[in-house]
């Protein structure tokens, strides 16, 4: 497995450069979809876990983010839920990011149409 750092170990800064993780995933999974990529280091809260999983990582190695939280048990629960939510979001496929707005609601039934 490969374990890219989200940010410096123990810093709690989260995923500072998601593009680096995307590059690792693209390179490693290109030849083997089952190649494990696990974010390690810098994860400070549940949203960091969700981001890693939404990027397509297979997991997140956690320590300081839970051990140093005010409520370690609560943070562990939050990170577990974030892991599941992030993975489901990744598997579901997000909409493409655009630089401009695009109407997504049907025009039928709108006043004045």
Percent of the chain exceeding pLDDT 90 equals: 39
* Euclidean distance between CA atoms 39 and 7, whole angstroms: 10
Q: Which residue has the tokens 């493409």?
A: 96
Give per-residue pLDDT as tens, 50-101.
999 999 999 998 988 999 999 999 999 999 999 999 999 999 998 888 898 8
Number of other CB atoms surrounding residue 100 within 10 Å: 4
Match domain 1-113 to its CATH number in 3.40.470.10, 3.40.50.280, 3.20.20.70, 1.20.1070.10. Answer: 3.20.20.70
Q: Which residue has the tokens 């004045």?
A: 112
Check residue 2 and give its pLDDT: 64
- Pick the closest to residue 63 from 23, 19, 111, 3 (CA basis): 3
* Euclidean distance between CA atoms 11 and 27, whole angstroms: 27
Please give the model's pTM, rounded to 2 decimal places. Answer: 0.78
């Amino acid at each position: 497995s490969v374990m890219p750092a989200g940010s410096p170990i123990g810093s709690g800064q989260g995923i500072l450069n998601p593009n680096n993780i995307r590059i690792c995933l693209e390179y490693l999974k290109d030849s083997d979809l089952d190649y494990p990529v696990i974010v390690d280091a810098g994860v400070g809260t549940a949203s960091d876990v969700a981001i890693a999983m939404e990027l397509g990582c297979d997991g997140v190695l956690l320590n300081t983010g839970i051990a140093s939280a005010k409520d370690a048990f609560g943070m562990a629960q939050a990170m577990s839920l974030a892991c599941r939510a992030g993975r489901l979001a990744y598997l579901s496929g997000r909409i493409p990011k655009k630089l401009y707005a695009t109407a997504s609601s049907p025009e039928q039934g709108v006043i004045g149409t």
